[in-house]
């Protein structure tokens, strides 16, 4: 079993401790929730592109030599500072494009950080940011900049904690004059509050979420109403998916821990699960509305997932 997958089993006690915070979560009014989830905002999703970047996110868990073998244009692989969050920079000088890809939760220390709810505002863009994720982003940004070009289109990708860090890196890149073309995250936890999400709508962030994944519901926000930034693609069983625009995704994410915990499972957080879900939608993807999503959620998919290496 890969080290990053095995950590989920070892950290079950940490997860259980987090669940006790559910009762303190802030929620939007039920009437507003039903209204937000009732309108289908038609949106065609490029699932093949999501698969290409899912492979990058999965590759970030590999040793540096393996990453360089899979992505020969990699110019930097590092785990800077004391954060134990690996990332790599892939740069195409001919196309003038560059990717920053951030590894997700890797060990017990990282998983505990996923549940830490401290915030700080000491940045140019005064949005409150989860301190643990921000520390990792600051370390990566300082390390990565010598390998980046300001005139290149910049793409950021990450899974789990790495998704939150990738999104925060998008803030730093924008502040420092880089062209951020897109940010794609998989199973990303929340990294800001509702007020912060409203300030960060400029980020070209698309969040991909497995319908059964627990981690996008975190932190639970007993003291503050944590919220997500950007539109959301919810992966359902087979060809089905939900798309929520930026406004609805942000509002529905406030207090969603309490609403969705009955469906959530940590095993559905693995990149292998995301790759299976995405590949099912290559032919004839079908969008459904948010309030109808439970009809298209499968509970046992491990046979299919086991065929894909994370």
Quickly list DSSP for 24-76. G-----HHHHHHHTTS-------HHHHHHHHHHHHHTTS-HHHHHHH-TTEEE
Q: Which residues contact residue 215 at a Cβ distance below 8 angstroms, ignoring those fewer than 6 apart?
A: 105, 114, 160, 187, 188, 189, 266, 269
In this prediction, residue 106 carries a pLDDT of: 61
Q: What SS3 class is residue 154?
A: strand
Phi first, then psi: what are they for 287, rounded to 5°? Answer: -85, 135
Instruction: Using DSSP bridges, classify how beta strands 74-78 and 129-130 pair: parallel, antiparallel or unpaired.
Output: unpaired
- Report the chain (310 residues): mean pLDDT per 10 consecutive residues: 40 44 48 63 91 98 98 97 90 98 74 59 82 92 97 97 97 96 96 90 96 84 76 95 88 59 69 95 93 76 44
User: What pLDDT was estimated at residue 118?
Assistant: 64
Q: Cβ neighbours of residue 195 under 8 Å, at least 6 residues apart? A: 127, 128
Interatomic CA distance for residues 245 and 292, integer angstroms = 16
User: Can you tell me the distance from the alpha carbon of 6 to that of 66, in angstroms, rounded to the nearest whole number?
Assistant: 20
Q: Give the long-range contacts of residues 64-68, CB within 8 A, separation 24 or more.
A: 64/88
Residues counted in the chain: 310
CATH number 3.30.70.100 given to 3-305: no
Cβ atoms of 247 and 303 within 8 Å: the answer is: no
Spatial neighbors of 88 by CB under 8 A, at least 6 apart, are 59, 60, 64, 67, 71, 74, 76, 77, 78, 100, 101
pLDDT in the model for residue 296: 87
Give, as one character, the DSSP assignment of residue 237: S
pTM for the predicted model, two decimal places? 0.85
Phi, psi of 25 (to 5 degrees): -75, 145
Is the omega angle on the peptide bond into residue 271 within 30 degrees of 0, that is, cis? no
Distance (Å, whole) CA 210 – CA 296 = 12
What are the residue boundaries of the structural domains of the chain, listed by start?
3-305
Angle formed by the axes of helices 12-19 and 3-10, nearest 10°: 50
Residues 211 and 263: beta-carbon distance below 8 Å: yes
Compute, in degrees rounded to 10, the torsion defined by CA atoms 21, 199, 235, 61: -80
Asked if residue 242 lies in contact with residue 294, where contact means CB atoms within 8 angstroms, the answer is: no
Q: What is the DSSP secondary structure assignment for residue 190, as one 8-state letter? A: P
Position 9 scores a pLDDT of 36
| CB distance 83 to 139 below 8 Å | yes
Q: Strand 192-193 relative to strand 226-227: parallel, antiparallel, unpaired?
A: antiparallel
């Amino acid at each position: 079993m890969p080290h990053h997958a095995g950590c989920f089993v070892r950290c079950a006690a940490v997860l259980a401790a987090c669940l006790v915070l559910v009762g303190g979560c802030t929620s939007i009014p039920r009437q507003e929730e039903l209204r937000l989830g009732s309108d289908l905002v038609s949106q065609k999703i490029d699932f093949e592109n999501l698969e290409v970047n899912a492979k990058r996110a999965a590759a970030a868990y590999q040793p540096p030599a393996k990453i360089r073998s899979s992505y020969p244009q990699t110019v930097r692989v590092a785990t800077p500072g004391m954060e134990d969050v690996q990332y790599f920079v892939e740069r195409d000088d001919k196309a003038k494009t560059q990717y920053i890809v951030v590894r997700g939760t890797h060990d017990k220390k990282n998983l505990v950080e996923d549940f830490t709810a401290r915030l700080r505002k000491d940045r140019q863009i005064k949005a409150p940011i989860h301190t643990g994720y921000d520390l990792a982003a600051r370390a990566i940004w300082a390390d990565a900049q010598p390998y980046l070009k300001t005139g290149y289109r910049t793409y950021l990708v990450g899974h789990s904690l790495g998704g939150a860090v990738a999104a925060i890196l998008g803030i730093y890149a924008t502040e420092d004059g880089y062209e951020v073309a897109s940010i794609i995250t998989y199973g990303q936890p929340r990294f800001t509050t509702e007020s912060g999400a409203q300030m960060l709508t400029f980020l070209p962030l698309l969040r991909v979420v497995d319908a059964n994944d627990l981690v996008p519901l975190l932190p639970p926000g007993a003291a503050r109403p944590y919220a997500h930034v950007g539109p959301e693609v919810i992966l359902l069983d087979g060809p089905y998916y939900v798309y929520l625009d930026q406004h609805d995704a942000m509002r529905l994410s406030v207090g969603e821990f309490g609403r969705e915990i009955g469906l959530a499972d940590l095993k559905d957080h693995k990149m292998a699960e995301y790759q299976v879900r995405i590949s099912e939608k290559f032919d004839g993807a079908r969008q459904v509305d948010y309030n109808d999503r439970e009809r298209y959620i499968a509970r046992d998919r491990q046979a299919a997932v086991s065929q894909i290496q994370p």
